[in-house]
Amino acid sequence: MPSFDHGGVDIAYLDEGEGDPIILIHGFASNKNVNWVYPTWVSELKKHGRRVIALDNRGHGESAKLYQPEAYSIEAMAGDAVALMDHLGIERADVMGYSMGARITARLALEQPARVRSAIIAGVGIALIEGGGPGENVAAALEAASLDDVTDPVGRTFRAFAEQTRSDRRALAACMRGSRGLMAAEDAAQIGVPVLIAVGTKDEVAGSARALGDIIPGAEVLDIPNRDHMRAVGDRVYKEGVLDFLARRPR
């Protein structure tokens, strides 16, 4: 798998297909394969004439593992995505992120509008601004001696997921502590690129998609029926909605 160096941090990525580029940014404790390859996002987008680029966020997958929370700010991880675009000579791309990746995508849309043709913010609604969801409970669960020692239900879910993906749990704990920065409502209101917000109707982590859509000018909202935070990723309604949005967004 190819990789590149960004400020001393090795970032792994995939680059497949031809056509308009789209950058895919995975969620916390996931990786490019689990979030995008296995649920057939990469193949679907390629089939629809897209060049698909997906990175492993720092601390995840095949990218470098860091153990200081300050290394995992949303701004730092957004910088990795921009550096990847620079590395590949991509001036402008659509960007889709899920969960933590959606927070990164929103930051890119706000601070790098010349590089972002459109932004798909998935698995995050008003929690982008108001917070909530996983926090220190998840970090503590990741650091516990074993899954049997974790009693917090959300912590258990993420600990089990991290074990399933064979992740570096100490790096993930640092990431959880360092990536919790929120976006101010007044900043979200300044996002000017086309935006699609996609959240499962049973997602208790993301917060309301429509509440966030009311803040970001012109944002479209896609409800993913009967899906929670973990099960929305590969949903057909989600995929069809994204493909439709990409087909309609200004070129």
What is the predicted pLDDT for the residue at 132? 81
What was the pLDDT predicted at 165?
Answer: 87
> Which domain does 10 fall in, by range?
3-131+182-248
Q: What pLDDT is stored for residue 202 in this prediction?
A: 97
Strands, E, within the chain: which ranges?
A: 3-6, 9-16, 20-25, 50-55, 93-98, 116-122, 195-200, 220-224
Tokens standing for residue 10: 């090795």
Q: Indicate whether 223 belongs to any domain.
A: yes
Tokens of 172: 């993930």
Question: Residue 53: beta bridge partners?
Answer: 15, 23
- Number of C-alpha atoms within 13 angstroms, CB side, residue 68? 4
Report the relative pairing of strands 116-122 and 220-224 from DSSP bridges: unpaired
Residue 167 buriedness (CB in 10 A; 0-12 / 13-18 / 19+): buried
The whole-model pTM stands at 0.96
| Token pair of 52 as six digits | 């698909």
pLDDT at 68: 97
Measured CA to CA, the distance from residue 177 to residue 73 in angstroms comes to 9
What's the total number of domains in the chain?
1
Dist CA 75 CA 108 (whole Å)? 9
Residue 176 has pLDDT above 80, yes or no: yes
250 confidence band (pLDDT: 50, 70, 90): confident
Looking at residue 235, what is its pLDDT? 97
What does residue 236 show for φ and ψ, rounded to 5 degrees?
-65, -40
Average pLDDT rounded to a whole number, residues 145-162? 93
Residue 155 within a domain: no
Read off the pLDDT of residues 63-76 as tens digits, 9 standing for 90 and up. Answer: 999 999 999 999 99
Query: pLDDT of 72-103, one tens digit each?
Result: 999 999 999 999 999 999 999 999 999 999 99
> Is pLDDT above 80 for 210?
yes
pLDDT score recorded for residue 218: 96
Confidence at 128, pLDDT banded by 50, 70, 90: very high
Of 197, 196, 198, 194, residue with least CA distance to 250:
194
Within-domain flag for 206: yes
Per the domain annotation, does 99 fall within a domain? yes
Gap between the Cα atoms of 117 and 251, Å rounded: 8
Position 133 pLDDT exceeds 80: no
Cα Rg of the chain (Å, integer) = 17
Average of per-residue pLDDT across 190-210: 97
In a domain, 152, yes or no: no
Report the C-alpha gap between 132 and 205 in whole angstroms.
7
Per DSSP, the residues of 112-145 read -TTTEEEEEEES-STHHHH--SSSHHHHHHHHSS
Q: Which regions of 34-75 does DSSP assign to beta strands (E)?
A: 50-55
In Å, what is the CA distance from 205 to each residue of 59, 92, 157? 22, 30, 12
- Give the pair of three-digit tokens for residue 140: 């503590």
CATH number at residue 195: 3.40.50.1820
Residue 136 included in any domain:
no
With a pLDDT cut of 90, the percent of the chain lying above it is 92
Q: What CA–CA distances, in Å, run from 237 to 85, 98, 221?
A: 28, 15, 12
**pLDDT higher than threshold 90 for residue 240:** yes
Residue 242: its pLDDT value, please? 98
Residue 144 lies in a domain: no
Model pLDDT, residue 134: 82
DSSP 8-state assignment for residue 33: I
Q: Is the pLDDT of residue 251 over 80?
A: no
What is the overall mean pLDDT for the chain? 96
Average pLDDT over residues 202-230: 96
Query: Residue 96: beta bridge partners?
Result: 24, 120
Residue 46 lies in a domain: yes
Residues 3-49: pLDDT tens digits? 999 999 999 999 999 999 999 999 999 999 999 999 999 999 999 99
